[in-house]
C-alpha cells in the first residue's frame, strides 16, 4: 500500500476514534455506536434484532444490550413479529429519527472538518463516491 494512502487512512481512523471518545464523555449525547445503529435502522426498518445485528456485524446479545437504553429513551420501538412470535421487530420512533439527524449532522461536520484539516481530499472523495454510486445505479 502507498505510504501516503496508509498515512491518510491512519489519520481518518484517529479522527473517528477521537470523535467516538468525545461522544462517550458526553453523558446526555448519543455515542458513535448508537448513532451508527440508529442510522442503520433508518435504512432497513422494520428489521428483526437478528437482521440488525447482521447489518452491523455484531452478535445478537450485543444488539440486545445496545437496544435497551435506546428503547428506554424512546428512540426505538421493539415489538413481537406478528408472523413469528419468537422474533422481535425493531423500528425507529420519530424521536429516534430526530435524535439521529440531530446527533449525526454535527458528527458529519466535525469529521469532514477534521479530514480536510488533516489533508484528506474530502471533496474529491465525495465527488468520486457520488459518481460511482450513479454508475452502479445505472446498471
Mean residue pLDDT across the chain: 84
Please provide residue 50's backbone torsions phi and psi, each rounded to the nearest 5 degrees: -65, -45
Query: Does pTM top 0.75 for this prediction?
Result: no
Question: Based on the number of CB atoms within 10 Å of its own CB, is 134 exposed (0-12), middle (13-18) or buried (19 or more)?
Answer: exposed
Query: Residue 15's domain is classified under what CATH number?
Result: 1.10.10.10
CA 95 to chain centre: 16
pLDDT tens digits for range 92-132: 999 999 998 888 777 777 778 877 887 778 788 878 888 88
What range does the domain containing 116 cover?
3-137
pLDDT (tens digit, 9 = 90+) per residue, 31-57? 878 988 998 999 999 999 999 999 999
CA distance 78 to 99: 17
Can you tell me the distance from the alpha carbon of 52 to that of 15, in angstroms, rounded to the nearest whole number? 26
| CA distance linking residue 57 with residue 43, whole number of Å | 15
Q: What is the mean pLDDT of residues 18-28?
A: 62
Number of compact structural domains in the chain:
1
Amino acid at each position: 500500500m502507498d505510504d501516503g494512502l496508509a498515512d491518510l487512512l491512519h489519520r481518518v481512523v484517529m479522527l473517528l476514534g477521537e470523535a467516538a471518545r468525545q461522544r462517550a464523555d458526553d453523558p446526555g449525547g448519543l455515542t458513535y455506536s448508537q448513532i451508527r445503529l440508529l442510522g442503520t435502522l433508518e435504512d432497513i426498518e422494520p428489521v428483526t434484532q437478528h437482521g440488525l445485528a447482521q447489518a452491523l456485524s455484531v452478535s445478537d446479545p450485543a444488539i440486545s444490550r445496545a437496544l435497551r437504553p435506546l428503547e428506554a429513551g424512546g428512540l426505538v420501538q421493539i415489538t413481537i413479529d406478528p408472523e413469528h412470535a419468537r422474533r422481535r421487530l425493531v423500528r425507529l420512533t420519530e424521536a429516534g429519527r430526530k435524535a439521529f439527524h440531530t446527533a449525526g449532522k454535527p458528527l458529519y461536520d466535525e469529521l469532514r472538518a477534521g479530514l480536510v484539516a488533516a489533508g484528506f481530499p474530502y471533496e474529491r472523495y465525495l465527488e468520486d463516491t457520488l459518481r460511482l454510486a450513479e454508475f452502479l445505479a445505472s446498471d
